[in-house]
Amino acid sequence: MGKKIASALISVYYKDHLDLIVQELNKLGVKIYSTGGTQSFIEGLGIPVTAVEDLTSYPSILGGRVKTLHPKVFGGILGRRNNPNDQKEMAQYEIPEIDLVIVDLYPFEETVKAGGSEEDIIEKIDIGGISLIRAAAKNYNDTLIVASRNDYGKLLELLQTKAGETDLADRKEFAARAFMTSSHYDTHIFNYFNRDFNFEVFKQSELSGHVLRYGENPHQRGVFYGNLTEVFETLNGKELSYNNLVDVEASLNLIAEFSEPTVAIIKHTNSCGLASRDSICEAYKAAFACDTTSAFGGVIAANRVIDLATATELNTLFFEVLSAPGYDEDALTLLKSKKNRILLKTKQHTPTTKIFKRLLNGVLEQENDLRAEKQDAFKHVTDKSPSKVEISDLEFAIIAVKHLKSNGIALVKNKQLIGSNCGQTSRVDALNNAIKKAKEFGFDLSGAVMASDAFFPFPDCVTIAAEAGITAIAQPGGSIKDQDSIDAANQFNLAMVTTGVRHFRH
């Protein structure tokens, strides 16, 4: 049996589309209570409204911090209609029943994101709103709670289709939505304060979820939680898959490390092509040349606008996704010729400062690896020092190897990844495979540099590198046998630098 809405309390920060709700409530003969700006908004619509101050006989005080926190408000929300004692006390204290509460919360999360001052942020911690939400949601047996403007459409449909009546299932669903809103809000407040204290607890919340075609494999369900439109705009193509999203993140994280025109080609989160050049077209051609086989079906990222020349080169390759900060009109027209080709226009991407992984019966958290050592961090440990060109390539190689799964090896020449291997249980295997791949694609390793994500426990990798023509090496150092590798580098007249920073990636 439905329960008729006879009275409503409305107090909201965002008033978008609120007029439709208020007009429908007025049409249904619902008595409306309100406060402050919301009251003025309703009055502006020419609709009768009773000020909460008239109900409580108490004004809004402390600069608006205390408006609705009063027994006549909360009693009307929490009073149980089937409880004789509650009904007796409500009559005794002249507390009217409130059947519908429409309230939202001050924009705390948005104020933090916008870089608001401490004072502004603290003032956006809602007190009355969050209390009203919890009270109305708790008493869902009798009260309907709408805690977000995102639910206005659902409420309006309910009012129109049921003529202002709600059943228990309706009220319980809205209560669940309300607790979703309040828990999300409190999570962001806690995480803001926890920046100063780092309590070892895990709290994260995302309000929006998008069901994907499937997970990593077709038999697995997949959902993305978050707002992808903050990162990019989809200009063409089919829906992004789970694997697409994983590779898009890998490509954007990698490309964010470079300021020169650079293109990265990603397969299974690892780069099979990476190059920096004077133009984005030349960068793409150099990146593609790294491994023309693996580039097929890859995910590509560029850090410059795609022009027609670059689009013409790209159009000859089957790839899943291309992301770039923009596209010339003629380039976009050409690339859109393949209807399933996913084209993303990137907005702003800053790699996250923390990463999480579900593990065993809990969650593993760590700081993201945002370091990439430059020459000022290089410790020259061999008789021979790297040349200016080698130093530039070593910096490039360190970035490349840090984004490969361990064990990883990156071979670089003239700011082009000419050989790489990753995910090996042996560093020797990773190096041998990288050399083999470089030779398969016609690269001359003479004068190339090598970066390793971790130290060399033995000098074997130094020997193999020297025999292949590599002339400079960057590695973290830290092995008890570092000197053996240094001695081997001196024996082959190689330059070696240590960085003191390991870049494992699992």
Nearest to 420 by CA among 268, 281, 212: 268
Rounded to whole angstroms, the Cα distance separating 348 from 408 reads 29
For residues 135-173, one letter each, b for 16 or more C-beta atoms within 10 angstroms of the residue's C-beta and e for the rest, the string is bbbebbebbbbbbbbebbeebbebbeeeebebeeebbeb
| Active site residue ranges | 138, 268
3-state secondary structure (DSSP) of residue 354 = strand
| Residue 359 CB contacts under 8 Å (≥ 6 apart), including other chains | none
For residue 143, the Cα-to-chain-centroid distance in whole angstroms is 36
Residues 211, 212, 214, 220, CA torsion sign:
negative
Rounded to whole angstroms, the Cα distance separating 245 from 222 reads 11
For strands 100-103 and 362-367, give the pairing. Answer: unpaired
For residue 304, the Cα-to-chain-centroid distance in whole angstroms is 22
Strands (DSSP E) contained in 152-222 are 165-166, 209-211
Strand partners, 232: 346
Rounded to whole angstroms, the Cα distance separating 474 from 373 reads 10
Torsion (CA) 325, 330, 335, 338 in degrees, nearest 10: 140
Nearest to 26 by CA among 37, 34, 16, 15: 34
Strand partners, 451: 410, 474
Give CA angle at 373 (368, 376), nearest 5°.
145
